[in-house]
């Protein structure tokens, strides 16, 4: 960390800054230039609060040399992490192909969709038992019964399952049924929830918030990692934009950027990023080409009857075609779609 002092800083103010640094057990190195005086700090920067340092008289700016997300950073973990999701490897050249309906609607429908996506090559089954909806009157999910249906369907088809957890009070229940816990965009900065899932050893799918920066996403991942759970997969699902032609703005550059900054795997969700089935295949392939460790696709066998997000779901045959294209692209990139080890 480097503290940049104001041009008119006094000797007393410099001494005060150094005193504050050293009383936290760190070393302060003063460097006087022609136009600027700075103080370099050596030690555990976690002991210092950059906001508090800004409040000290004479301090103009505080610059972190290392990122604040220490556990998630590439510096802390140079090798890329590979996350095991119920026998499916994500990362290290192994791609996740997550697919399924937005919401679990019934055992029969879940069975039909699961059979189709598994036949097409999906390796992780998705489906929401608890649904965050903008309207309080919209379908909120089947809850416990939805979790049971999702788990049993996944077991029949040899696929681990991922589902969203919205409430810290539901974490233990969801852990009993799911192989991976999804933190949705609206809860990316629900720090109580992040702390609770961090206390489990279940893999976590962390979606980027609608207005979140890449640093925000990695700091949220840090919450999970700091609780002892290293099994985090990031997800780029689009951020809020001004163009209403698509549901969100698909930030494909976030994929290589996250991989440069962090060792955690990252997948893309073009379903939520675009909200348009005609754009989903191209954006899914763009994500994989950019280096993504997998995709997260909504699939429904009758979108017009879907309880939620039907307009952005691919039909099973459309997903099958996309899955084939992803496998072909993966081969070019010397990667492959991971096979479930069940």
**86-136 tens-digit pLDDT:** 999 999 999 999 999 999 999 999 999 999 999 999 999 999 999 887 788
Q: Can you tell me whether residue 249 is helix, strand or coil? A: strand
Range of the domain at 329: 83-337
203 — pLDDT class (breaks 50, 70, 90): very high
d(CA 208, CA 59): 33
53 — pLDDT class (breaks 50, 70, 90): confident
Cα pseudo-dihedral 174, 177, 178, 183, rounded to 10: -10
In a domain, 117, yes or no: yes
Residue 87, token pair as written in the block: 């026998």
CATH number for position 127: 3.20.20.70
Same domain for 311 and 235? yes
Residue 93, token pair as written in the block: 């050249």
CATH number for position 57: 3.30.70.1140
Same domain for 259 and 141? yes
d(CA 277, CA 275): 7
Q: Give how many domains the chain has, as a whole number.
A: 2
Same domain for 287 and 249? yes
In a domain, 342, yes or no: no
316-332 vs 280-289: helix crossing angle, rounded to 10: 20
46 — pLDDT class (breaks 50, 70, 90): low
Q: Count of alpha carbons within 13 Å of 66, Cβ hemisphere only?
A: 16
Q: Which whole number is the average pLDDT over 262-273? A: 97
Q: Are strands 37-42 and 2-5 parallel, antiparallel or unpaired?
A: antiparallel
Is the pLDDT score of 192 beyond 90?
A: yes
Residue 304: count of CB within 10 angstroms of its CB: 8
Same domain for 162 and 43? no
């Amino acid at each position: 960390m480097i503290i940049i002092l104001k041009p008119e800083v006094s000797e007393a103010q410099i001494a005060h800054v150094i005193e504050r640094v050293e009383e936290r057990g760190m070393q302060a190195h003063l460097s006087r230039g022609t136009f600027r005086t700075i103080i370099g700090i050596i030690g555990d920067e976690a002991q210092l609060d950059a906001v508090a340092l800004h409040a000290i008289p004479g301090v103009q700016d505080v610059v972190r040399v290392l990122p604040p997300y220490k556990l998630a950073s590439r510096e802390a973990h140079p090798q890329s992490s590979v996350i095991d999701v119920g026998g499916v490897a994500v990362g290290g050249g192994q791609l996740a192909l997550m697919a399924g309906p937005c919401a679990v609607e019934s055992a029969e429908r879940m069975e039909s969709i699961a059979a189709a996506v598994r036949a097409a090559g999906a390796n992780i089954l998705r489906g929401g038992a608890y649904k965050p909806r903008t309207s309080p009157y919209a379908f909120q999910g089947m809850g416990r019964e939805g979790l049971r249906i999702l788990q049993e369907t996944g077991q029949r088809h040899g696929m681990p399952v991922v589902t969203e957890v919205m409430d810290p009070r539901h974490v233990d229940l969801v852990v009993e049924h799911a192989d991976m816990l999804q933190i949705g965009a609206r809860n990316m900065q629900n720090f109580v929830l992040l702390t609770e899932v961090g206390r489990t050893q279940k893999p976590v799918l962390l979606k980027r918030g609608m207005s979140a920066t890449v640093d925000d996403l990695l700091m949220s991942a840090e919450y999970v990692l700091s609780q002892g759970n290293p099994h985090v997969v990031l997800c780029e699902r689009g951020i809020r934009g001004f163009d209403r032609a698509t549901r969100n703005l698909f930030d494909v550059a976030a994929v290589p950027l996250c991989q440069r900054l962090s060792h955690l795997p990252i997948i893309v969700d073009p379903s939520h990023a675009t909200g348009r089935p005609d754009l989903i295949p191209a954006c899914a392939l763009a994500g994989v080409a950019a280096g993504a460790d997998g995709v997260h696709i909504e699939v429904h066998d009758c979108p017009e009857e879907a309880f939620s997000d039907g307009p952005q779901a691919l039909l099973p045959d459309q997903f099958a075609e996309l899955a084939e294209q992803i496998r072909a692209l993966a081969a070019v990139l010397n990667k492959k779609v991971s096979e479930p080890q069940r």
